[in-house]
Amino acid sequence: MDTITVGARPLTVAEVVAVARQEAPVAIAADALERVARGRALVEHLADDPAPHYGISTGFGALATTFIAPERRRQLQASLIRSHAAGTGAEVEREVVRALMLLRLQTLASGHTGVRPVVVETYAALLNAGITPVVHEYGSLGCSGDLAPLSHVALATLGEGTVRGRDGEAADAADALAATGIVPLVLEEKEGLALINGTDGMLGMLCLALYDLDALWTTADVAAAMSIESQLGTDAVFAADLMALRPHVGQGASAANLRRLLAGSDIMASHRDPAVCTRVQDAYSLRCTPQVHGAARDTASHAALVAGRELAAVVDNPVLTGDGRVESNGNFHGAPVGYVLDFLAIAVADVASLSERRTDRALDRTRSHGLPPFLADEVGVDSGLMIAQYAAAGIVSELKRLAVPASVDSIPSSAMQEDHVSMGWSAARKLRRGIDGLARVLAIELVTAARALDLRAPLTPAPGTDAARALVRTVAAGPGPDRFVAPDLAAVTALVLSGAVARTLAPVSEGADT
């Protein structure tokens, strides 16, 4: 696996995912440690100044006016980490913690935080050793950065707290560091603050979400095409010239996918004759698919723009400037990231809602145009996929609740010094749950649409939709008497989350897009 270089340029979403999920090794850029050493020299100069400098010779937050004597500053930094490692609740996923660690490492390697080179090297060593500190669900308000999550990571570098190794087993941090030859840090002036003042947790989760959603939007197009085809809908409404009349980029991309997926369909050809099909318009859940899926794509594009800017940012307070100043600032505020996390949760909920409506239509004999009720084998004896739709509806209902923005909520903290916070961490946590829900709803639609296509035999689906139907059939049985449904849904959900369904679009010929 390629090594990811930190400190040379902004990281990409793909690089964050590679380190977080695939445990790609990291290396520090050749000139990064030189920048870090120069920044540290400035901090050490200011540490000797009798005038107070925030984070170097003072307390923190509401205690920023308290001067700390030189002989107490190591204790100050360690106390900061121990007191701020106050997370509670469920353990956060390994990939999230690794993303957070990588992004903090990138900022430390910028030379703008004032840490020593050994701090940068220690964070890289933890990542490469597969040591992941235990971080908890609650503790971040998204200002001043993701304080508690980052503090739990910093605590591990001191040889304190609990970590997990590559095998997933919990261990004392001191034992895990000793086993891998990593020397615990003794923090100097400014370093504790530099380790915890960042948007790294919420940004890491945004990067992971963008990576997952890229495949899920395509999966939604695949599932929709299967539903439209099996419900005898029309692809005429997705014509390129119609899409050009409303030139949203995402809408055009989604419509192009639908055209490619539906090209060459015997099922669709069977009802093109007006004498055979007297319907003038399809329902919105079929006809407006590219408008909704496209809006979700455009939302993700905006979120990716924000993520790119944040990946290029140095987030710390105070921060070392290029001309040698140490300045307090508000760049740790998570509003930019929090807003797009919430925006994505809205898009996720709406794409899932549309999917569930298409599933429901397929199961209703009054709207499915000739399919049996609930796609049951022996109507009355068998219930078919009736309750699968219930599951989709229950998930969609939860996704709507998760779409309520976290970033509009603010609870003052730190004795009113931090009187407006972003709640970006909370926005990221609920988006992760939303993405899981969307994958499950799409899986239910895929199972339903695949069965509906089978029931249209001897008419054959388009090559594009048939490839997806065949993939579903590798893990879920076709029409027949009632069977245990949950394992089929779980297996197809795994296909969705792996990106396998989205990849069925790739072989579809570009020439089919007319």
Residues annotated as catalytic are 54
Dist CA 305 CA 309 (whole Å): 6
Q: C-alpha distances in angstroms, 217 versus 337, 439, 447, 499?
A: 21, 10, 17, 11
Closest by Cα among 512, 500, 511 to 462: 512
Enumerate residue ranges in the chain where pLDDT < 70: 60-65, 275-278, 509-514
Sign of CA dihedral 394, 396, 397, 402: positive
Domains and CATH numbers, the chain: 4-198 (1.10.275.10), 208-312+346-512 (1.20.200.10)
- Would you state the pLDDT for residue 509? 52
Helices H, strands E: what count in the chain?
20, 9
Closest by Cα among 20, 431, 441 to 200: 20
List beta partners, residue 451: none
- Would you state the pLDDT for residue 489? 98
- Would you state the pLDDT for residue 511? 45
Closest by Cα among 172, 156, 199, 186 to 76: 186
Dist CA 384 CA 285 (whole Å): 22
Residue by residue, DSSP assigns 456-479 as: TTTS---HHHHHHHHHHHTTS--S
